A and B are shown apart, each in its own frame.
Chain A
């Protein structure tokens, strides 16, 4: 039974695209056939993050407008042949597609893949509505900042209004040391406001930035704490019971230990 999952957030810049790329790759690593779709038409990004930009010939709008067949537009990933990207058009805008187009596209992809992940644009307008139109499930990405949480709350309300079931939450870029100093919202603080199920917590990790800039995903970097968090999240999406990483405790212990020697392991908090 294939599943169509839309990754969205309301606020921009919280890590939707990075999350989509990493989850797509993790699911493919676990042996699933996965399509990731860039639904941010006009602001194409997912291809860049996955390092596939130079392979694009056709895009999502070409498929919808019938200039090519779906398989022609799908780009195979560099590492996993069962992972495919459907890129967004860069020269068009959100009005180039309709809700019905997106539903039809999801159904076409559903027939070929186990998982179809839609990377939604920021905002609550047509781009977002199109991105969730064909989805069975919605995953909300937020960071522990009041503005991002406020927007996530708004988006959850809209998902309820569009009858998209109960969205699940990924809390991205948590800085455990700031939380333990009381300077950042904790996982509990965010959950208390949003009152939805937690799919996972991704610690802030510089390795994400360097990986993204190289067009690689963090889950392929064994040293990356964020990458490990994404792998866990993908397993939870697959239905496995995976315990949550004890981030706050871990940071505390590692800091204390390495603090004595004046250095810190890779992938931990700055």
Chain B
């Protein structure tokens, strides 16, 4: 059985998923989802479909996660949506987000925005002095010499992660 939670899969998406599973020798017989569209797709693909009463409790299903604290060395914030931290992210701390990451403080740790493949994701911080930045499949080290003491934004441009002061980026 495949449990896809509340994702809505169209027929062609499910077909692609099944194709991939078949390649790895996995042949599911049924699919469970809270989304009706996914169940319709499943029946069309010849799978038994059953509704899923509720989303798994442990997972935060909201669009954005919010943390009002210092993210310290060894601590990780992992969220499928956007992440906002009101506080510093220290070196050795890590944020992994499906969406954008906003740090209202000093960013010295490692951040992965758009971790599910979204190259349009951005990372911004009041002081951007990260150990490493990742957006989607791209990785960048911080430039030597440290950050300016002003808000900056990191984003993907020409297949590279670039950084610009917020004041010029917003225009």
Contact = CB atoms under 8 A, between A and B. Distances in A.
Interface residues of B, number: 12
B73 to A, nearest CB: 4
Nearest to B75: A157
Contacts of A153: 72-74, 90-92
Among A150, A153, A157, the most chain B Cβ lie within 10 Å of the Cβ of A153
A156 interface: yes
Interface in A165-213: 192-193, 195
A154 interface: yes
B152 interface: no
| Most chain B beta carbons < 10 A, residue from A154, A156, A157 | A157
Contacts of B108: 193
Interface string B51-77: 000000000000000000010111100
Contacts of B6: none
A151 B74 CA distance: 9
Contact of B73 (A150, A160, A192, A195): A150
Contacts, number: 29
B89 to A, nearest CB: 11
A171 B73 CA distance: 18
Nearest to B74: A154
Contact of A157 (B74, B87, B88, B91): B74
Interface in A37-77: none
B39 to A, nearest CB: 40
A10 to B, nearest CB: 9
A150 B70 contact: no
Interface in A63-94: none
A201 B74 CA distance: 26
A82 B167 CA distance: 63
A150 B88 contact: no
A154 B88 contact: no
A160 B75 CA distance: 11
Contact of A150 (B75, B91, B106): B91
Given A193-B90, A195-B88, A154 B73 contact: yes
Contacts of A193: 88, 90-91, 108
B74 to A, nearest CB: 4
A13 B70 CA distance: 26
A198 to B, nearest CB: 15
Nearest to A161: B75
A154 B70 contact: no
Contacts of A151: 73
The residue in A151, A160, A195 that gathers the most chain B C-beta atoms within 10 A of its C-beta is A195
Contacts of B87: 195
A246 B72 CA distance: 29
A195 B70 contact: yes
Contacts of A192: 106
A105 to B, nearest CB: 28
Interface of A: 150-151, 153-154, 156-158, 160, 192-193, 195
Given A154-B92, A192-B106, 19 more contacts: A150-B91, A150-B92, A153-B72, A153-B73, A153-B90, A153-B91, A154-B72, A154-B73, A156-B72, A157-B73, A157-B75, A158-B74, A160-B72, A193-B88, A193-B91, A193-B108, A195-B70, A195-B87, A195-B88
Q: Which 10 A-B pairs have the closest CB atoms?
A: A157-B72, A153-B73, A154-B73, A154-B74, A153-B72, A157-B75, A195-B70, A153-B90, A150-B73, A157-B74
